[in-house]
A and B are shown apart, each in its own frame.
Chain A
Amino acid sequence: MGNSVIIIGGGISGMTAAGILVQQGLDVTLLEKENETGGHLARWDRLFPDRRKASEVLDFVKAGLNQVKIVTGVTVTGISKHDYDFTITTRIQHPASSIHSQFSASALLLATGFDLFEARKKEEYGYGIYNNVITSADLEDQFKSGKGILTREGKIPGRIGLVHCVGSRDEKVGNLYCSKVCCVTGVKQAIELKEMYPASEVFNFYMDLRMFDRHFEELYYEAQQKWGVSFIRGRLSECAENPDGSIILKTEDTLTGKPLKMTVDLLILLTGFVPAIGTSAICGMLGLKSGTDGFVNSADSHTSNNSSGVPGVFLAGALKGPISIGEAIADARAAAVQLAGYIKSTTAYND
C-alpha cells in the first residue's frame, strides 16, 4: 500500500488532477496515448465565452506538473487489481517494435476524455468529399495557424455557414444527447469570422440554441446585434458542390416554414462529443458500466460523480459526457480531492 497514483489521459482533466495530487504529496504518473499532453485543448485557439487564448489555460494547468511523471505515446493494454494495488500494462508503439511496460498504483484516475464526432458519418454534409466543408476543430487549427481562413481555392469566403448539432441530438447517427458546448462554440466562431472578415455573411443553422452558462446569452446577443450574424432555425438536410467549389445547402427555415436553398463558400460543421474510442476497452478491464450513449456512468450522478463504483478507481472529465473547459477543471479538482482522501484512508487503515 503506497501513495502512487496513475492517471490515464493527459487532457485538461487529467493534467488538472495531476497538479492537485502532487500538491498533496502523492506520487503521480500520467499516461497519455498521444505524443503530447493537452488533449483537445491543445488544438483550440480561443475559448468561449470571453475568447481568451486556450494556450493560457493550458500553460496554467501545465505549470503544476513539474513533479508529475508524464509518459506519452502509450496505450493501456491491461489493468489488474490485487487487494488495494493496481497493475497497469502499457504498450508504446514504435515504427519498428512495440515496448511493453508495467506500472503499479494504489489508485487510478480515468480521464480518457472524448473524441470528436467523425463528420464523415454525415455523408450528406460532404465532409471529406467537398473541399470547402470543414469541422469546427479544423477551423480552430486554421485560426491557430494565423494564416487566415480561406477557401480551398484560396479565396476569402464571402458567405460562411456554421451547422450546429453535427453528430449530436441526431438519432440517425445514434447520438441522442446534446454535446452542450457546440452552440456557444458556433456563436464564438461566427463572431471570430465576422471579426476577421466584416464584409462576409455568416449564417448559423441551428435547432435551438442552448446558451446555458454565464455570459453565453450575452455572447449570442452580441453576435446578432454587434456582428450581424444570421441565425436560421433549421437542420441542414444535405449539401452539394458547385463547379466553383462553393457549397449548396438545403435546409428548411422552420420559423417561416419554407424550404431554403443557399450557397456558401465555406461550411463549418460543429461536430459534437463522442465517447473516446479507447475508453470502452479500459472500462472492460475494470468492469465499469457505460450508459446507452457510451459515456461512462459514475457511481451516483449527483452525489458520487467522481466515483466509478470500483474502490480506488475515480473518474474525471468528459469521459462521463460533454462538458466545457471550466467544468472539466472543476470536475478534475473534485476527483483529485476524493482520490487523495481515498489514499489517506486506505493507508491509515493498512498501517
Chain B
Amino acid sequence: MIKFNLFVLPFSLGLIYIVYSIIIHYYRWIKALPAVDKVKLATGIRTPSKVTASLKEIFLEGLIHRKLWKRNPLLGYMHMSFALGWFLLIVVGNLESRIYHGAYINAPYYPIFLKFFIHDRLVLFFEIFTVPAFFRFIMDFLLLFVLSGLTLALIKRKQSKWFGMKQTTQHSLFDRVALSCLWMIFPMRLLAESYTAGYFGGGGGFLTQNLGNLLIAVTPGPAEIIAYFFWWSYSLVLGLFFIMMPYSRYMHIPSELLLIVFRHCGIQSKKWGSSFSDLEAHSCSRCGVCIDACQLDFAAGIRNIQAVYLIRGQRDQYITEYIAMTCMICGRCQEACPVGIKADSLRLIKRREIGSGQVSDFSYITSTHPGFADVVYFAGCMSHLTPSIHIAMEGIFKKAGVNYLFMDQDGSICCGRPLMLAGKDKQANELIEFNKTLIRQTRAKLLVTSCPICYKVFREEYNLPIRIQHHSQYLLELVKEGKIALQSQHRKVVYHDPCDLGRGGNVYEAPRELLGKISDLVATEKNCADALCCGGSLGLMNTSIQKKDEVTRNALQSLLKNEPDILVTACPLCKKTFSKHSQTEVRDIAELVHDAIPGRNILSTRAILETETVTS
C-alpha cells in the first residue's frame, strides 16, 4: 500500500523537475563533446581504473571536501556536514524506510517524509540496539550533523575569518533566495519530525523526540496542525530548492560529478568555448576561495573580476570585456580552487572571442637563415629590456664551450604569448609559424629561453620536436654535467617564482637547486604554487599602472620580509617590475650563475653604485 498525502506534491514536482533538468544538462554536455572526446568518455567509463579514480575523487572532493579541509578545518567540516550529511540522510533514510515498506520500488517522497507516515511508538527514543532504533538514532544523528554545518554557515556570514576566508562571494539575489531555501530545509525537517514525534508521544529519536516533547509543552495551539504546517513547509522548500537549482549555483552539485568523470577520461578545456568549459562553469560552487587568492583583490582593491565572477558571467553569458581583460592570468585562483576549475583558460576563451576580430600586419618581418647550432638560445623581448640577463647567458655559453646560436640577438620576433594573452591567437600563430621555421632551420636539439613567458608558449603551442628548457633548468644541467664550475658567493637571497615558470611551467626545483649551489637561499612567506605575481603581468590589459604598482609593492613586502641581500627571480619581466620599486637589488638567476663562475668579471654595476651612494 502506498501512503500519500497532498503535501508531498511540491517536493515530488521539484524532484521530477531537477532529475529532468540534470538529464537534459548531462545529455547536452555529452552530446556537444567533439567526437574525439566522446571516444575518450566511452573508453574511460569502461576502464575500471578510471571509474575507481572518479568515484574516489567524487567521494573525497564531492562529499568529504578534502581540499577545503586542508585549507581550513572549519570550512572543510561545514561543507562536509552539508554534503556528506545530506547524502547519508538520503541513503540511510531509504534503508530505514525499507523496514516499514517491503517493496523494492518506493515512492521517492516516502523515505523523505517517513516520519509523517510512520509513528513507530514501540521503539523508545533512547534505544539503539534494535534495527529500527538504530536507524532512528542514526537519522537523528545525521540531521544534527547537517544542522551543525548550517550553524557554521550562519556564523561564516559574519565571521568568515574563522573559516580562513577574508572575503566571501557577493552573491546574486537569485543565489541568495536559493541559499535561503537550502538553509530552511533542515530546520523545517527538524520541526516537522519533532512536532510529529511530540504529538504522537513517540516515534522520534534522541533529538526529535526530546525537542518534540518540549515544543508540545511550551507552544500552545493544535500540535497536529502545526506539525502538518511544517511538513508542508519542508516539502515546499525542498521542491522550491530543486526547481531553483538549475538556475542557481547549486547546479554545481550534479555538474561537478560529471566534470570529475570527464577529467578522469582525459577531456580537457579547448581554445574556444566548449561543452567542457560550460560544464566547468556550472561546476563552480561560488565558494569564493579564489577571491582571497587574487592579488588584484587584496593588493589593489579591484573587486568583482575574480574567477568566481568570471565563471558566473560565463555561465549566465554576461561576461563583460572588463571582467575578461582585468586579470594577470597568474594562476593563483586556479591553484586555490577546490573544484580545480581552470579559470585562466575560461578567461582566455572570452578574450579570444573579443580579440579575434582585430587584424595585425606582420609583413615587415623578414627572414634570413639563422645558421646552425646545437643549442638555440631565445632571450625573448623582455630579456632585451633587461640586457644583463642575455649578456650573462652568452658569457655562460662561451665559458661552457656550447655551440649555441642567439636566435633573437638582433631584436626579437615575439614568441606570441603576449598576443595570446590578449586573445589574438590567430595573429600569434603567424609569429609562431615564423619562429618555428627559424628554430627548425638551426637543426638544434635544444631550445633554451630566458623568459618563462616564452617557455610556456614554446612548450604548449609550438609543438617542436626538440627539448625546450628555461635557462634555470639548462644552467643546472650544465653544472651537473660539469661544464661549468660554480663558487658560492654566499649572498643571502630569496627566490621569486615567476608565474609562468612555476604554476605555468611546473618548474620549481631547478632554480632552487641552482641557487643552493651559489648562494644562501632563505625562505619566503609564499612560494612555489602559492607564489605571488610580481604585478607586471602582460595579461593585465586594462588596469592602471598605479594599481599594478600596488600589486608589486605588496608582493615585494612579502618577498623581502627576511631581508635578503638580493631578490632573485628567473624572469626578465619580474626583474623589471620589481626593480622599479625595490630598494633591494633584483637579479636574474642567470646573472648570479654568471658571477659565480670563478674568473668571470662580475656583471653587477650595483657595487659601483653603492660606493657612490655612500660617498654622496
Contact = CB atoms under 8 A, between A and B. Distances in A.
Interface of A: 33-34, 118, 120-121, 123-124, 126, 128-130, 171-174, 238-241, 250, 259, 261
B96 interface: no
Given A123-B388, A129-B387, A259-B364, A174 B608 contact: no
6 contacts: A120-B609, A126-B387, A128-B605, A129-B603, A174-B581, A240-B409
Interface string B602-616: 010100110000001
B388 A129 contact: yes
A120 B576 CA distance: 11
Given A123-B387, A124-B386, A124-B387, 6 more contacts: A118-B609, A128-B605, A129-B388, A172-B580, A174-B581, A261-B411
B302 interface: no
Contacts of A126: 387
Contact of A240 (B364, B384, B386, B545): B384
Contacts of A118: 609
A129 B387 CA distance: 8
Interface string B344-369: 00000000000000000000100000
Contacts of A121: 579-580
Contacts of A123: 385-388, 576, 579
Contact of B391 (A129, A174, A259): A129
Given A34-B616, A259-B364, A120 B605 contact: yes
Contacts of B425: none
A120 B364 CA distance: 32
B256 interface: no
Interface of B: 364, 384-388, 391, 409, 411, 545, 549, 576, 579-581, 603, 605, 608-609, 616
Contacts of B579: 121, 123
A261 B364 CA distance: 14
Contacts of A173: 580
B410 to A, nearest CB: 8
Contacts of A124: 384-387
A240 B384 CA distance: 8
Contacts of B581: 174
Given A123-B385, A123-B386, A128-B609, A174 B364 contact: no
Nearest to B389: A123
Contacts of B549: 174
Interface residues of B: mostly helix, strand, loop or mixed?
A: helix
Nearest to B385: A124
B418 to A, nearest CB: 15
Contacts of B409: 240
A126 B390 CA distance: 12
B392 to A, nearest CB: 11
Contacts of B576: 123
A173 B416 CA distance: 25
A173 B545 CA distance: 10
Contact of A128 (B364, B545, B608): B608
Contacts of A239: 387
A119 to B, nearest CB: 10
For the complex of A and B, the 7 pairs showing the least CB-CB separation, nearest first, are A128-B605, A124-B385, A171-B545, A123-B386, A238-B384, A129-B387, A174-B580
Contacts of A238: 384-385, 387
A120 to B, nearest CB: 6
A130 to B, nearest CB: 8
B472 to A, nearest CB: 20
Nearest to B544: A171
A238 B391 CA distance: 14
A173 B603 CA distance: 22
Q: Which of B385, B387, B409, B609 gathers the greatest number of chain A CB atoms within 10 Å?
A: B387
Contacts of B384: 124, 238, 240
Contacts of B387: 123-124, 126, 129-130, 238-241
Contacts of A172: 545, 580
A173 B582 CA distance: 12
A33 B615 CA distance: 10
Contacts of B580: 121, 172-174
Contacts of B609: 118, 120, 128
Contacts of B545: 171-172, 174
Which of A118, A123, A241 has the largest count of B CB atoms less than 10 A from its CB?
Answer: A123
Nearest to A292: B546
Contacts of A261: 411
A281 B387 CA distance: 34
A25 to B, nearest CB: 34
Nearest to A115: B616
Nearest to A128: B605
A120 B585 CA distance: 12
Nearest to A237: B385
A129 B603 CA distance: 8
A137 B608 CA distance: 17
